[in-house]
Amino acid sequence: MVCSPRSRGFVVLVAGLMPSVIFSQPAFARAATDFSRLVEQQGQVVVNVAATKPTPQHADAAARRASDDASGLSLGSGLIVSGDGYVLTCTHVIERATLIQVRLADRREYSARVIGLDRRSDIALLKIEAKGLTPAISGDADKLRVGEPVLAIGSPFGFQSSASAGIVSGTRRSLPGEPYMAFIQTDVAINPGNSGGPLFNLRGEVVGINSQNFSRTGGFMGVSFAIPIDVATRIADELKRNGFVRRGWLGINVQEVSRDIAAAYDLFPPRGALVSDILGAGPAAKSPLRRGDIVLAYEGQAITNSAALAPRVGLSAPGALARMDIIRRGEGRKSIAVRVGELSEPPSAIPGPPPVVTRMGLGLELTELDLATRDRLAPEKGVLVRRVHPGYALDAGLAAGDVLVEVDGQLLSSVAESERLLARASEARPVLVRIRRGNLSSFVAVRGAGPAP
């Protein structure tokens, strides 16, 4: 889709004055519309990423990622973060790829290997065998203000080194189903191929990694999201060091503080995160935190609303002692300490040749749940979906990280039992599977090739 450029300038004629008296836009506004010098200076830190993936045979076009085309080629962008060839991009661009090519701004091309990837944040770290590269300069995403001009450089639809500009529409936004990530919302045009590219402020500093847009049509509709650069670099450091990411976890549920709830606590203006539940097996259950407490600050950072808490907790190192400022009804404000646990993460699939699809043709790779996840789901158990390959399961909408809880009303306790029950599925008669995705439970109907002869 081709977007016409926006004009942010304006000219006003004042009635009663001579036509030559014109009030023009202020100097800072004029400067904000001219990104040409920034593009010239920072364009070399942006790369094009092309990932070759297995072609889906059972999934229709609507099931594919926005960056993928029908041939199995996924196009995206990336950011050079070190002179010796480390590159940041988005997980959805390169996941399941059998070949990844990185093209620099000067048209040099390299094969890339995956150091690690993290689905929850959508951040992946690549390595190319190059030296003397110019790395990007990181800014401070926490200092972004709504209305501030920003610029994206990437490869939408494969058009390398394309620039698009806009403003910050919101900061630290949480999206449905992903409470542990807080995104920068912008109105910058982000289209397929922009994913993984940088978001710059006016100083030429990278403040985010463009990840996705929100659309009812699949095209750009003015709402885009970027991963804050501080989060992206922290995840990249962990991927480089360990190959995976560890996140903090408290084992609580929170809700928004309404005006009426705030009045009951004599809290004005309304703010914070109200603890609505404490999980029995979580670390918070062994702490001074209580159901009904309102968290006002976490590790010195103000918690303005309920969505702000989980991303802060997620950045804490498991095992660390975190300080929280709370207000407790009838007792007033106090400071407490909570020992942070570790959030159980689904395994990340390092790209490589696709394994053989299971004999049932479902395309599912299942694994047993770890103890932490079992405790979190108790009294239910289930099995974890490790990967989903082309097949009936992908058609049904199953995804890596889902937990299969029951099949046709029978609770699951092992992979072997799951395979036995799923083998009943046929083209004419699907099985009904209940899954847990994050904190939500839902049903899907899965067809299959029929019982094994």
Same-fold call for 248-342 versus 364-446: yes
Q: What does the alpha-carbon distance between residue 235 and residue 123 come to, in Å, rounded to a whole number?
A: 7
CA 84 to chain CA centroid, Å, is 26
Task: Please report the pLDDT score of residue 444 as a whole number.
Answer: 85
- Dihedral, CA of residue 296, residue 278, residue 311 and residue 146, to nearest 10: -50
Q: What does the alpha-carbon distance between residue 188 and residue 183 come to, in Å, rounded to a whole number?
A: 14
Q: What does the alpha-carbon distance between residue 233 and residue 241 come to, in Å, rounded to a whole number?
A: 12
The residue type found at 288 is P
Task: Please report the pLDDT score of residue 86 as a whole number.
Answer: 97
- Taking the model in full, what pTM does it have? 0.66
Please, are residues 162 and 48 in contact by the beta-carbon 8 Å criterion?
no
φ, ψ (nearest 5 deg) of residue 50: -125, 120
327-347 pLDDT per residue, tens: 999 899 999 999 999 987 655
Task: Please report the pLDDT score of residue 371 as a whole number.
Answer: 66
Q: What does the alpha-carbon distance between residue 233 and residue 124 come to, in Å, rounded to a whole number?
A: 10
34-92 pLDDT per residue, tens: 899 999 999 999 999 999 876 554 444 433 444 555 456 889 999 999 999 999 999 99
DSSP conformation letters of 263-311: HHTT-SS--SEEEEEE-TTSGGGGSS--TT-EEEEETTEE--SGGGHHH
Is the peptide bond preceding residue 318 cis, with omega within 30 degrees of 0?
no
- Tokens linked to 351: 């790209």
- Tell whether the model's pLDDT for residue 354 goes beyond 80: no
Gyration radius of the chain's alpha carbons: 24
Task: Please report the pLDDT score of residue 97 as a whole number.
Answer: 85
4 contacts: CB under 8 Å, gap ≥ 6: none
CA 180 to chain CA centroid, Å, is 9
CA 130 to chain CA centroid, Å, is 28
Active site residues: 92, 122, 195
The residue type found at 4 is S
Among 3.30.420.40, 2.30.42.10, 3.90.180.10, 1.20.1250.20, name the CATH number for the domain at 248-342.
2.30.42.10
Q: What does the alpha-carbon distance between residue 53 and residue 96 come to, in Å, rounded to a whole number?
A: 6
- Tokens linked to 10: 């304006």
- For residue 187, how many C-alpha atoms fall within 13 Å in the half-sphere facing its CB? 11
* Whole-number Cα distances in Å, 7 to 41, 46, 187, 284: 23, 26, 14, 51
Write down the mean pLDDT value for the chain: 82
- Tell whether the model's pLDDT for residue 32 goes beyond 70: no
Q: What does the alpha-carbon distance between residue 209 and residue 19 come to, in Å, rounded to a whole number?
A: 46
Sign of the C-alpha dihedral computed for residues 409, 414, 416 and 418 taken in this order: positive
Task: Please report the pLDDT score of residue 68 as a whole number.
Answer: 52
Q: Which DSSP category does 409 fall into? A: T
Q: What does the alpha-carbon distance between residue 164 and residue 279 come to, in Å, rounded to a whole number?
A: 45
Task: Please report the pLDDT score of residue 22 as a whole number.
Answer: 37
Query: Can you tell me the mean pLDDT for 390-403?
Result: 82
Most confident of 214-228, 312-326, 386-400: 312-326
Q: What does the alpha-carbon distance between residue 186 and residue 273 come to, in Å, rounded to a whole number?
A: 25
Is the peptide bond preceding residue 56 cis, with omega within 30 degrees of 0?
no
- Tell whether the model's pLDDT for residue 11 goes beyond 70: no
Higher per-residue pLDDT: 31 or 192 = 192
Higher per-residue pLDDT: 276 or 367 = 276
- Tokens linked to 269: 């203006």
- Tell whether the model's pLDDT for residue 23 goes beyond 50: no
Higher per-residue pLDDT: 63 or 370 = 370
- Of 48, 49, 52, 50, the residue nearest 97 (C-alpha): 52
Q: What does the alpha-carbon distance between residue 47 and residue 126 come to, in Å, rounded to a whole number?
A: 12
Q: Which DSSP category does 348 fall into? A: P
Q: What does the alpha-carbon distance between residue 232 and residue 208 come to, in Å, rounded to a whole number?
A: 8
Please, are residues 131 and 85 in contact by the beta-carbon 8 Å criterion?
yes
Higher per-residue pLDDT: 212 or 89 = 89
Query: Can you tell me the mean pLDDT for 426-448?
Result: 83
> What is the three-class DSSP state of 189?
coil
Q: What does the alpha-carbon distance between residue 84 and residue 134 come to, in Å, rounded to a whole number?
A: 9
Query: Can you tell me the mean pLDDT for 177-186?
Result: 87
Task: Please report the pLDDT score of residue 382 as a whole number.
Answer: 86
Q: At the topology level of CATH, where does 364-446 sit?
A: Pdz3 Domain (2.30.42)
Q: What does the alpha-carbon distance between residue 294 and residue 286 come to, in Å, rounded to a whole number?
A: 18
Task: Please report the pLDDT score of residue 345 as a whole number.
Answer: 63
Q: What does the alpha-carbon distance between residue 450 and residue 442 come to, in Å, rounded to a whole number?
A: 24
Domain ranges, ordered by start, for the chain: 11-40, 43-240, 248-342, 364-446
Please, are residues 361 and 391 in contact by the beta-carbon 8 Å criterion?
yes
pLDDT band at 360 (very low <50, low <70, confident <90, very high): very low
Q: Which CATH architecture has domain 43-240?
A: Beta Barrel (2.40)
Query: Can you tell me the mean pLDDT for 241-248?
Result: 88
